Chains A and B, each alone.
Chain A
Amino acid sequence: MTEREAREAIADDDRLLRRIRDQPEKMWTKKGGVLRPSSAALKPHQADGGLSVDVRRLLADPRSPGSVLDDDRDDGLVEFEARRPRDAGLDVEHAPLQSRYSHANIVGFERFDRAGQKRVRRELAKQAVWVQTPASAAAGAG
Chain B
Amino acid sequence: MTTATIDYVTSDFASGATVAPRKVSQYVDVTQRIRDRLDQLRELPGGWDHEQAKPIDPDALRLAWTAAEQFLRARLPEPELFPVPDGGVQLEWRAGPVELELEIEPGARAVVFVCDDEQSGQQIDGELPRDESRFGLALARLNAHA
Instruction: For A19, list chain B residues within 8 Å (CB).
Output: 49-50
B12-20, B24-32, B67-75, B77-85: which lies at the A interface?
B77-85
The 8 Å CB contact of A118, one of B50, B51, B114, is B114
Residues 84-119 of B, flagged 1 when their CB comes within 8 A of A and 0 if not, give: 111010101010000101010000001011101000
For residue B58, which residues in chain A have a CB less than 8 angstroms away from its CB?
none
Measured CB to CB, the nearest residue on chain B to A37 is: B82
Q: Which of A21, A24, A114 contacts B112 (CB 8 A)?
A: A114
- A66 → B minimal CB distance (Å): 14
Compute the total of residue contacts between A and B using a CB distance below 8 Å.
Answer: 78
The 3 tightest CB contacts between A and B, nearest first, are A40-B82, A40-B90, A115-B125
Interface residues on B, range: 20 to 34
Is A21 a contact of B48 with CB atoms below 8 Å?
A: yes
**B11 CB–A CB distance under 8 Å:** no
Number of interface residues of A (CB under 8 A): 29
B123 to A: closest C-beta gap in Å: 7
Query: Which residues from chain A sit less than 8 Å from chain B, CB to CB?
Result: 19, 21, 24-27, 29, 31-32, 38-41, 43, 45-48, 52, 70, 72, 113-119, 122
Q: Quick one: given A32-B94, A38-B92, A118-B103, are A45 and B53 in contact (CB under 8 Å)?
A: yes
The docked-state distance in angstroms from the alpha carbon of A99 to that of B103 is 33
Question: Is B21 located at the chain interface by the 8 A CB criterion?
Answer: no
Indicate if the CB atoms of A114 and B110 lie closer than 8 Å.
yes
